């Protein structure tokens, strides 16, 4: 697995890099050698946030944790990623998205009850109206939603605007 580590508002010491590589080696058995892991460490006041995103064969696994210590945050993130992977292992193998990996050493995660089916409890249909990104954000805020799907009048693509945890907004648009 190829690991890249970056930081925001802090510096990353070699000891953290070594610890991160050691912790992420636990995930090697689930992914091919060409898997990419990106670690972002952020410091805000007395809080250390560690975000790990793993990409392999079109699948993306992501976890983010915040605590007083970045090593604790990293441990919690790796734990969360293992739970995600083990929970979805059977579904991923059925779709051929990841290699068959042994769960040896991860029995405590496999023993947790998992629901093998997703349950859609509500379906909503609506007309897409061409509008600008600013109009879509305004509409989303008026509806008091966290995201809003619309047809972007600049490129005629179906896009989604969403409210980020930091209070800003994000835009999702498909690649053409």
User: Would 21 be classed as within a structural domain?
Assistant: yes
**115: in domain:** no
Rounded CA separation 110/134 (Å): 45
Domain that holds residue 26: 2-110
103 lies in the same domain as 147: no
Q: Where are the alpha helices (DSSP H) in 49-124?
A: 70-94, 107-110
The structural domain count of the chain equals 2
Backbone torsions φ then ψ of 62, nearest 5 degrees: -145, 140
Q: Are residues 56 and 137 in the same domain?
A: no
- Residue 119 located in a structural domain: no
Query: What is the pLDDT confidence band of residue 100, given thresholds at 50, 70 and 90?
Result: very low
104 and 62 share a domain?
Answer: yes
Confidence band for 73, pLDDT divided at 50, 70 and 90: very high
Round the average pLDDT of the chain to a whole number and report it.
84
Model confidence band, residue 32 (pLDDT cutoffs 50, 70, 90): confident
CATH classification of the domain holding 52: 3.30.160.100
Tell me, yes or no, whether 12 and 71 share the same domain: yes
Lookup result for tokens 């290699």 = 99
| Residue 92, pLDDT above cutoff 60 | no
Could you report the per-residue pLDDT of 131-145, keeping only the tens digit for each?
Answer: 999 999 999 888 888
* Residues 24, 102 within the same domain: yes
């Amino acid at each position: 697995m190829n690991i890249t580590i970056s930081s925001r508002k802090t510096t990353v010491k070699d000891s953290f890099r070594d610890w991160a590589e050691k912790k992420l080696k636990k995930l090697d058995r689930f992914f091919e050698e060409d898997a990419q892991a990106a670690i972002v460490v952020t410091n805000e006041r007395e809080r250390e946030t560690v975000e790990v995103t793993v990409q392999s064969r079109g699948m993306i696994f992501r976890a983010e944790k915040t605590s007083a210590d970045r090593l604790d945050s990293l441990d919690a993130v790796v734990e969360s990623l293992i739970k995600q992977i083990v929970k979805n292992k059977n579904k991923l193998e059925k779709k051929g998205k990841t290699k068959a990996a042994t769960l040896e050493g991860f029995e405590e995660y496999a023993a947790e009850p998992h629901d093998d089916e997703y349950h859609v409890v509500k379906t909503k249909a609506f007309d897409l109206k061409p509008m600008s990104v600013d109009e879509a954000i305004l509409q989303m805020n008026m509806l008091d939603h966290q995201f809003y799907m619309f047809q972007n009048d600049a490129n005629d693509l179906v896009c989604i605007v969403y409210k980020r945890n930091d209070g800003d907004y994000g835009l999702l648009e498909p690649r053409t």
